Amino acid sequence: MADIEPVAIVELGVDDALAGLALSTEARWNQNEADWRFFLTNGIVFGVRDGPHLVATAALLPYSAGNAWISMVLVTERWRRRGIATRLVDACLDAARQRGLTTWLDATPAGASVYGPLGFTPTLQLRRLRLEHPSHEASTALATSDIDTFSARDRRAMGFERNALLAEFGARTGSRILSQGNATALVRDGRTARHIGPLFADSATDALALVGAIGRTERSPLLIDAIASQEPFIAGLTGAGWNIERPFQRMRFGRATTQSEELPFAVAGPEFG
Ligand SMILES: CC(C)(COP(=O)(O)OP(=O)(O)OC[C@H]1O[C@@H](n2cnc3c(N)ncnc32)[C@H](O)[C@@H]1OP(=O)(O)O)[C@@H](O)C(=O)NCCC(=O)NCCS
């Protein structure tokens, strides 16, 4: 049993963006300052401080139609195994309960062992893949897609809209919404790698063709959070030099609220769903 410390849980504000970034960087995650600003502006982010230093966080990001994502559950190494993550996730669940929200999250293996006992149940699995050296070719160009068409497809996949998130992603310097045939994906900056996702396509062949084409337009390392059941897609990626870095387990707390009409090939990221 974790030794529950009498630590104070506080609600964080946008001024905590760099302190939050230090925690996700310590865990070698890919979030950048813009991601933290989005959580701190649009979500409810709880934290624990040791004097002036932020030592732990957890965020609740309300979306639409009674759904919210929990993420950025981070505890600095020295403060782990004292029940802090459990208390922070509990604070997120309380905030969700007060607002009548069903909560979702994509857990790392360490995170899943915190969330299971709290009552989260597993749904689908993800695989994070990384391509260290995209085969950049100067001459490659890809069609771009508009944010409204992309958001409509995301809504069919999620079962609810998250237009504010996608609009913010799309407006960032370095973001692109790219299409080839029926396949379309959002590419955005991260701390150490560019991230591809969400990615929608009618077939694994089309999804792989788009990822291949994106790779030919990129110079930085790339990440994809693929849906594990899209096996031919993942096999195609590993065959093309992508490495599986880690699994994530999607989990839900509360009743099922969504009806997905399309299974994506890759998601926006474990922190965003
Ligand atoms: C995962 C993490 C947030 C846990 O924080 P924490 O404050 O140490 O968690 P808690 O003390 O509340 O742990 C509660 C229980 O979860 C389980 N647990 C926590 N971390 C675990 C680990 N690394 N391995 C196995 N079980 C673990 C244990 O059962 C623990 O109870 P116990 O200490 O009595 O055995 C922290 O290790 C971390 O920041 N890791 C890196 C980032 C990360 O993976 N975040 C989760 C994202 S989904």
84 close to ligand 1 (CB < 6 Angstrom): yes
What is the enclosing helix (H) or strand (E) of 253?
strand 243-253
pLDDT for the residue numbered 1: 43
**3-class secondary-structure state, position 63:** coil
User: What's the rounded Cα separation, in Å, for the pair 250 and 108?
Assistant: 9
Helix 231-239 and helix 204-215, axial crossing angle in degrees, nearest 10: 30
Q: What is the SS3 assignment for 41?
A: helix
CA dist., res. 156 & res. 182, Å (int):
15
Residue with tokens 């069903």: 102
pLDDT in tens, 241-260: 999 999 999 999 988 777 88
263 lines ligand 1 (CB under 6 A): no
* Percent with pLDDT over 70 in the chain: 97
Structure confidence at residue 34 (pLDDT): 98
CA of 80 to the centre of ligand 1 (A): 7
* Cβ–ligand 1 contact at 82 (below 6 Å): yes
Provide the residue type at 188 as one letter.
Answer: R
Domains for the chain: give ranges and CATH numbers.
9-100 (3.40.630.30), 127-253 (3.40.630.90)
C-alpha 75 to ligand 1 mean position (Å): 8
> Does the structure show a pLDDT above 90 at 80?
yes
Mean pLDDT computed over 65-73: 96
Residue pLDDT, tens place only, 165-184 = 999 999 999 999 999 999 99
pLDDT at 258: 76
- pLDDT above 80: residue 6: no
